[in-house]
Structure 1
Amino acid sequence: MGATSLDLAYIVAIWVETSLWGAYLVLYVLCVYTLLVRRQRAGKGTTSLPTPVIISITAMAIFSSIHASIGLTRLLHGFKEFADGTALPGTLAVFMGKSTWLNILKEATYTCNTAAADGLLIWRLWTIWGRDFRIVALPLFLLCCTAACGFGSTISFAIAGPVGSLRQTLFIKTINAWVTAFFVFTLCTNVLSTCAIAYRILTFMPEHIPGRTVERRLYLQMVAVIVESGLLYSATMLTLLVMWLSGAGSEYLVVDATMPIACIVPTLIVIRVGLGVQWQKAKLAPGHTVESMSAGFNFNFLTAPSFNNAGNTALEVVARLPYDMDSESCSSRGCQ
C-alpha cells in the first residue's frame, strides 16, 4: 500500500470504529439497564447479578473506549506533524510507527479486549455444559495462546525501534508471526465455543421439547441468536485474517472495526434474547398459558447453569435467570 492509500485506509478505519463504538455504548447502557431492571422485577434477594457478564461487558466498554480514543489521537497527531512538516509525506511514519507509546497501548488494549470477549464466551460454554471443566479445557488453552500472542506482539512493537531502522526491519517478521497466530487462535476459540454451545442446546431440545410448538419456536429463536452472533464475529475475524495474510494492506480497513464488533456481539445477545423473549411473552399472554413465563424469561439464558434439570420444564431450564450462580443455588436446582 502506498503512503496515501494507508492514510485513507486509516481515516476510513477510524470512522468505522468510532461509528461502531458509538453504537456499542448505546447497547452497553441498554444491556446494563436490562440486567438491573430484571433483577429489580425478580424481587430483592431472589437473584444476584451475573458478575462475569457485568464485569466482562464493562471491561470491554472501557477497552473499546480507550482504543477508539487512541486511534483518534494518532490520527490528529499524524496530520498535525504533517502540517508542521515534521512527518514523512502522507504521515506514513506516524501511522506505521510500531514503537510509539500510543501504538503499544493500542495493541495492549486490543489484546485485553479480545481476551475479555473470548473469556465471556468460554464462561457461557462452561455454564451451559453444567460447569464441566473438561469441556472448556481446549478453549481455555486457546485463550491462553491468544493472550500470549497478543502480548508477544505488543512487546515486539515496544522493542522494534523507529520506522526504517534496522531493528524494526528485523522485528517485522516476528511481529507478523505473533499477529497471525493471535488471529488464528481467537478465531478457533470462537468457532469451537460457538459450535459446542449450539450442539449442547440442539441436542437438549428433542428430548425436552418434543411437540410444544410455542416453546420449540421460541427455543429455536434463542438458538439462532447465539449461532448468528458467533458467526458474525467469526466471519469478521476470518476476513481480517485473510486480508492480513494477503499482505495488501487492506487489513487496516477491518482491524480497528473488530474491536467494537467483539464488544457488540455478546452485548447484543443479552439484549436481543431479553427483548425478544419479553415481546414473545406479551404476544402469547392473551391466548396461551405457559407457567414458566410467569416469572419472566432469562434473556441471558445462554449462561444457564445446567441442562440436566429433568424435573423442570424446558422453558424453566432455558429461561431461568441464572443470576444466583453460587454453588448452593446451583446444587438446589440439580446442577452438575
Structure 2
Amino acid sequence: MRDIGILPANLAGIVLESCFYGTFLLLFISNVYFLAARGDSQTTRHNFTSLMFLGAAGLSLVITVHWVIVIYQAFFAFTYLDDKAAETTFYLDATHWTEIIKQTLLLTSILMGDSFVIYRLWIFWGRNRYIVILPIGSLIAVFVLGTLYVVSMWEPRLGGATTYTQPTFWVGASFGLSFLTTIYGTGLIAFRIVRTRTRTVMESPLMALLAILVESAALQTFWLTFVAIADFAGSYAGLIASDTLPVVIGISNLLIHTRVGLGWSQSSSKSQRSASTGKISIPLTSNSNRQDSQV
C-alpha cells in the first residue's frame, strides 16, 4: 500500500468517510426517534438529558466538523491549487490550520470513544471503580500525549513535514495507549456478557455474537488496530483509516443505542436478574426506563 499516493489516499478517504457519515446520520436520527417515542414525557426528557445521549450528541458534532474539514480540504486542494505538486505539498503540510483542526478533532473523538468504553466497562462490572483504574490512567496519558502532538504542529520547523508516513513518538504512544484501553475494555465487557448469557439464557449463536460485538465496541477496537498497523507500516492507507476513525467510533457507539432502541436485550425477560455480583442488572428490554444499561 506504499505506492497508493497521498492524493488518491485522500480521495478514497473522502469517499469512505462520506459513506460512513451517511450511515452515522441514519443511526443518530433513528436513535433520536427511539428515545422520543419511548415512554411518557418524563421518560423522554430523561432520555435526552442522560449522560450517554449528551455524549453521543457531542461526538456527532465532532464527527460533523471533522467531515466538513475533510471536504473543505478537498475543495481547496483540487479547486484553488494549480498543479499536482502544490496539492501534494498542501496535504503533506502538518502545520496548515485545517490539518491542525482535523488532528484535534481526531484526538477528541478517540478520547470520547475511550471514555464511552470505560463508562460501559464500569457499568457492566457493577460500578467497580477498581476495574477502571488502569484504563482511566491510560486515558489521561492519551490526552497528555495527544495534546503535546497537536501543540507541536504549530511549530514552524514542521512546515511541509509528512503527517502520516512519519509518526512521532507522541502519536505512536497515544495510539498504543488507546489501543490498550479499547482491548482491555472490550475484552472484559465481552467476558462479562458471555458469562451472564451462559448463566441466564439460551439464544441463537449468531444473535449472541452480534450482541457481544455491538456491546463491547469491537468495531472501534478493530478500526483503531487498522489505523495503528497502517501508520507504523508507513502506508498512506493509514491516512484513509485515521480520517474515517472518528465516524467509525460514532457508529460503534450508536449501534449500542440502536440495539436498545430496537428492543434487543442481553437476555430475555426471564433473565432480568442481577449478574453474579448482585450489583447490577445488565439486561434491558425495549420498554425499560432504566438508563444504566443504555451505555
TM-score in same-fold range (> 0.5): yes
Q: 1:48 aligns with which of 15, 24, 46?
A: 46
Q: TM-score, normalised by structure 1?
A: 0.74
Q: TM-score, normalised by structure 2?
A: 0.83
Change (3 A) 1:185 1:162: closer
Change (3 A) 1:248 1:292: closer
Residues 99-118 of structure 1 mapped to structure 2, 5 A cutoff: 99-118=95-114
Residues 270-281 of structure 1 mapped to structure 2, 5 A cutoff: 270-275=257-262, 277=264
- Partners in 1 of 2:208 and 2:24 — Cα distance? 21
Q: Which residue is 1:255 aligned to?
A: 242
Q: Which residue is 2:202 aligned to?
A: 216
Change (3 A) 1:21 1:161: farther
Residues 147-166 of structure 1 mapped to structure 2, 5 A cutoff: 147-161=143-157, 163-164=159-160
1:170-226: CA deviation from partner (whole Å, max 9, x where unpaired): xx96x521111122111111111011112223333444x2xxxxx431798356423
1:256-296: CA deviation from partner (whole Å, max 9, x where unpaired): 11121110011012213432538x98xxxxxxxx5789xxx
Q: Which residue is 2:275 aligned to?
A: 307
Q: CA deviation at 1:32?
A: 2.0
- Partners in 2 of 1:77 and 1:57 — Cα distance? 30
Q: CA deviation at 1:18?
A: 1.4
Q: Which residue is 1:296 aligned to?
A: none
- Structure of larger gyration radius: 1
1:142-183: CA deviation from partner (whole Å, max 9, x where unpaired): 11122222222211212154644xxx59xx96x521111122
Q: Secondary structure at the match of 2:169?
A: helix
- Partners in 2 of 1:148 and 1:233 — Cα distance? 21
- Partners in 2 of 1:242 and 1:317 — Cα distance? 34
Matched, 1:82 2:69: no
- Partners in 2 of 1:258 and 1:162 — Cα distance? 24
Aligned-residue RMSD, C-alpha? 3.3
Q: Which residue is 1:284 aligned to?
A: none
Change (3 A) 1:268 1:102: same
Superposition misfits of 4+ residues, deviation over 4 angstroms: 290-293, 308-312
Residues 19-168 of structure 1 mapped to structure 2, 5 A cutoff: 19-40=19-40, 44=42, 48-49=46-47, 51-83=50-82, 89=85, 91-161=87-157, 163-164=159-160
Q: CA deviation at 1:317?
A: 5.1
Matched, 1:319 2:284: yes
- Partners in 2 of 1:292 and 1:205 — Cα distance? 9
Matched, 1:204 2:196: yes
Q: Which residue is 2:233 aligned to?
A: 246
- Partners in 2 of 1:268 and 1:242 — Cα distance? 25
Q: CA deviation at 1:310?
A: 5.5
- Partners in 1 of 2:282 and 2:19 — Cα distance? 37
Partner amino acid, structure 2, of 1:267: L
Check conservation: 1:47, 1:323, Cα contact below 8 A: no
- Partners in 2 of 1:317 and 1:163 — Cα distance? 51
Q: Secondary structure at the match of 1:14?
A: helix
Partner amino acid, structure 1, of 2:171: V
- Partners in 2 of 1:264 and 1:16 — Cα distance? 13
Q: CA deviation at 1:64?
A: 0.5
Unmatched segments (≥5 aa) in structure 1 = 210-214, 282-289, 294-303, 326-336
Check conservation: 2:10, 2:240, Cα contact below 8 A: yes
- Partners in 2 of 1:191 and 1:60 — Cα distance? 21
Partner amino acid, structure 1, of 2:184: L
Check conservation: 1:115, 1:147, Cα contact below 8 A: yes
Partner amino acid, structure 1, of 2:175: F
Check conservation: 2:106, 2:245, Cα contact below 8 A: no
Check conservation: 1:63, 1:109, Cα contact below 8 A: yes
Check conservation: 1:67, 1:109, Cα contact below 8 A: yes
Check conservation: 1:307, 1:317, Cα contact below 8 A: yes
- Partners in 2 of 1:197 and 1:38 — Cα distance? 26
Q: Secondary structure at the match of 1:256?
A: helix
Q: CA deviation at 1:74?
A: 1.0
Check conservation: 1:222, 1:273, Cα contact below 8 A: no
